[in-house]
Amino acid sequence: MDKKYCVYICTGCGIGDALDIEKLTEVPDEEGISCKTHPILCSKEGVDFLKSEIADGVNTMAICACSRRVNYDVFRFEGCIVDRVNLREQVVWTHPVCEKPADEDEEFIDHLQMLAEDYIKMSMAKLEKINLPEPYKLESFSKKVLVIGGGITGISAAIDAAKAGYEVTVVEKDAILGGYAAKIRKQIPVSSPYEGLIDPIIGSKITELEAYSNITIKTETVVARIAGEPGNFTVTMKKPSEKIEFDVPFPLPEKMKVDENGKDLDAEAQYAKYQEYNEGKIDILKLDPNGEKYGAVVLAAGWRPYEIEDNSCAHLGYGEFPDVITSHQFEEIASRGKVTRPSDGKDAKSVVFIQNPGKDEDDSDFDYSGSVASMVALKQAKYVREDYDADGKAFVFYQHMRTPGLQENFYKSIQQDEGIFLTKGNVMSVSKNGAGFIVEADNTLLGEKIQVKADMVVLATGMVPVTVDDPVINLAYRQGPGFRDNDIFNGYCDSNFICFPYETQRTGIYAAGAVRRNMTIEESMEDAAGAALKAIQCIESSNRGVSVHPRSGDMTFPDFFFQRCTQCKRCTEECPFGALDDDEKGTPKPNPSRCRRCGTCMGACPERIIGFADYNIDSIGSMVKAIGVPSEDDFDEPPLRILGLVCENDAYPAMDIAGLNRLQYSADVRIIPVRCLGSVNVIWIKDALAQGMDGVFLLGCKHGDDYQCHFVKGSELASIRMKKIGDALSSLALEDERVAQFEVAIDEFDKVPTIINDFVDVVEGLGPNPFKGF
């Protein structure tokens, strides 16, 4: 593209009042780039003006006005490269106007004007280095949806996707559909008025499913492997317990990647070991010629009952007395017929349901348990009353009674039963009393230590996602067949429960139902709809060659300059989404539609061969170099220059909100937004320091177990790289403290000035960078 540049400065929103606009227009002029101003660029007149400029041939523009986060649709022009210079939120709203000193001899440094000038220079440098993106097109494309799991969630997801017009295949490992929902006596209500128990709805759901001509049902089938990428998955299926050559290979364990002396094996030796380790299995890069093509996958593999570990519930008699059972075992008994005792088959007319095993020490639930356990206890209490109408009694001892949403009505309806008794309380012990038990509880609502006689005791154990035991999804990805680091979610398939429901750590795989968290049938059905829609969004995005999530609609994708690749595998290993597979030599094979465009690979690459059309090492590096670093040649006391690389997901918005609130911070800081801290390549930091900047900080999301990183691992990887940068700094004889990383959440805008100013103070304390002026 033949670029025709122009810089446009908006003088509205206080920009014209705070800055010397005329002086500002000289900045592009000096570079031979024309610069025009307008009182309100976002007005109809302003936009018409820009359109007339485009008609006159301008195609690469710097719009110096408000933040890129506002008016983004107003300033989007087809076929044009547009960069937004944030003069409003991050210049005039956050910094005071510098008054000329009365004493003419005193040195005047106009910090505000310098800040605005730098940002315009940086934008011009960037525009030179970026290009319009072109979408990535898959070679072959499938719009079919694969649903793994034929329980209530899988069935619902399949119906929802089929209703939307997509072809669906449901695979179920058992011989019949229905999953756990088909094994229960009655269920918690799924619709208004949410009262009492209802008959299981799974039967009617199966009938509904079977009526769709665009749904294929495969029972007694599991997924052997899923290869390829969203929009073009190649799926190999098999019978459960069957062994085939397209079973997914597992990555080599860490300890096998080294030789006897503990030295890393080279790529080829590792590959040989890997093949040995996965003998009889074909490598991931070879596609199954008989595999079926799918566009996206809904993982609805469900759960299994939690198994109580030995002795952990000894005080409740579990393991010792056969009539102390789990809620799952109780459901099995109840679904067969009358509620009876497993030990002697006699009527269980008085049943105690225990929700929390922790005595008085802690009030936590059983593992993998939650609101469903509360509602199941209420449901099962009702079974006792159904079976023994006249003299049945059911007691529920709980620490938390959770009946979310309209299920409160369900709670109320169960509570209304004269023979159901509910109380908060610590269950202290279950002891034998003839053929039955005495259950002792403390701190109850009845105010004292109480004892209750029981024929049977039921423990509210949880629902373990099946992905705890097995990857199920069996992805033919170099990083392995399952989801990485899933243990921080207790094995639930998730990537960020609060922000991104259904999203797993693998693009195109959407989890729903009990594999995501414990859910009722009602919740599972709703969840299925969400995952089905996500799968459809993925298919339609991949089809247009754009990113699905969270950078929905982003047309760029990482481009590799392979001639310079050293096969270090860092990109393959660090990609949070397993988007890259490497071959036997270790050369990465990108799978662009698996990619979420975070740029973590770009940040990782020591050879700096990875980049995006509009975001690459050179574009950001050029921005860094465009920052003016005043030295003693310019001023007696030159101001500091500090670079801030700011994550555009949460930290950059927080800075904008700080601006909206007119919070002030140092004008010595130059901000460059980055896609994710994971995309920050250390070369930018080195360049900044080498050209005399005094400090560099990274501002991004929280990392750790409760991370807020939109790309899961970006901010964590950045922090690892920042720790390692210390060596490079000491080789330059610079202090470690000149580089720092800070965390900020989107709602912590009030902390932004403190974070920035404190860092400026630290750098000031260290003194100016000795490389200044070289």
Partner 1 sequence: MSNQYLVEPDVDFIKELEALGGDTLKKCFQCATCSVACPIAPDNNPFPRKEMIAASWGLKDKLVKNEDIWLCHNCGDCTTLCPRGAKPGEVLSAVRSYAITEYATPKAFGKMVNDPKKLPILFLIPVVIFIVLGTLTGLLNFAPGGDEVAHHLFFSTWLVDLIFVPLAIAVAAIFALGVKRFLGDIHENAIQQGRTENKPIDAKAFIKSLISILPTILKHDKFNECGENKERGTSHLLVFYSFVALFVVTNIFFVVLYVFQTHGPYSQLNPVKWLANIAGIALIIGASMMISSRRRNSDQPSGYKDWYLLGLVLGLGVTGMLAEATRLADLAGLSYTIYFLHLVFVFNLFAFLPFSKLAHLVYRTIAMTYSEYTGRK
Q: Which residues make up the interface to partner 1 (CB under 8 A)?
A: 391, 393, 412, 415-419, 421, 423-424, 438, 445-453
Min dist CB 338 to partner 1, Å, is: 19
Token couple for 108 = 């005047």
Pick from 1, 81, 73, 7: nearest CA to 38? 7
Structure tokens at 402: 């959770």
* ∠ CA 274-277-282, rounded to 5°: 70
- Least distance in Å: CB of 359 to partner 1? 16
Shortest CB 446 distance to partner 1, Å: 6
- Rounded to an integer, what distance in angstroms lies between the CA atom of residue 514 and that of residue 218? 21
Nearer to partner 1, 282 or 452 (CB): 452
Q: Tokens 């139902």 identify what position?
A: 513
SS3 624: helix
What whole-number distance in Å separates Cα of residue 548 and Cα of residue 537?
Answer: 7
Is cis: bond before 550, omega within 30 of 0? Answer: yes
The nearer residue to partner 1, 418 or 727, going by C-beta atoms, is 418
Nearer to partner 1, 102 or 445 (CB): 445
Residue 38 or 379: the one with the smaller Cβ distance to partner 1 is 379
CA distance 143 to 540: 8
Cα→Cα distances 731→174, 698, 763, Å: 62, 21, 19
What minimum distance in Å lies between the beta carbon of 349 and partner 1?
A: 11
CB of 432 to partner 1, least distance (A): 15
Closer CB to partner 1, residue 441 or residue 647?
441
CB of 420 to partner 1, least distance (A): 8
| Minimal distance, residue 531 CB to partner 1, in Å | 35
Nearer to partner 1, 417 or 748 (CB): 417
For partner 1, the closer of residues 450 and 732 by Cβ is: 450
Q: Where are the alpha helices (DSSP H) in 326-461?
A: 327-336, 371-387, 407-415
**Closer to partner 1 by Cβ: residue 177 or 352:** 352
Residue 445 Cβ, how far from partner 1 at the closest point, in Å? 5
In whole angstroms, how close is the CB of 340 to partner 1 at the nearest point? 20
Contacting residues for 8 by C-beta, under 8 A, at least 6 apart: 35, 36, 37, 38, 41, 50, 53, 61, 62, 63, 64, 65
Question: Where on the phi/psi map is residue 334: left (φ > 0), alpha (ψ -120 to 50), or beta?
Answer: alpha
446 vs 745, beta carbon nearer partner 1: 446
Query: Which CB atom, from 97 or from 446, has the smaller least distance to partner 1?
Result: 446
The number of beta carbons lying within 10 Å of the beta carbon of residue 251 is 17
Q: Given the complex with partner 1, which of 258 and 446 has the nearer CB atom?
A: 446
Cross-sheet strand order for the sheet of 35-38: 35-38, 5-10, 60-65, 81-86
Q: How far is the CB of 361 from partner 1 (least distance, A)?
A: 19
> Is the CA virtual torsion 512, 514, 516, 520 positive or negative?
positive
Three-state SS string over 47-94 comes to: HHHHHHHHHCCCCEEEEEECCCCCCCCCCCCCCCEEEEEECHHHHHCC
Nearer to partner 1, 336 or 449 (CB): 449
Nearest to partner 1 of 211, 446 (CB atom): 446
Query: Smallest gap, in angstroms, from Cβ of residue 421 to partner 1?
Result: 5
Give Cβ neighbours of residue 591 (< 8 Å, ≥ 6 apart).
228, 229, 579, 580, 581
Report the distance separating Cα 108 and Cα 412, nearest Å. 73
**Shortest distance (Å) from residue 448 CB to partner 1:** 6
Residue type, 136: Y
* Distance separating alpha carbons of residues 488 and 495, to the nearest angstrom: 10
CB of 366 to partner 1, least distance (A): 23
**What are the phi and psi torsion angles at 106 (to 5°)?**
-70, 145
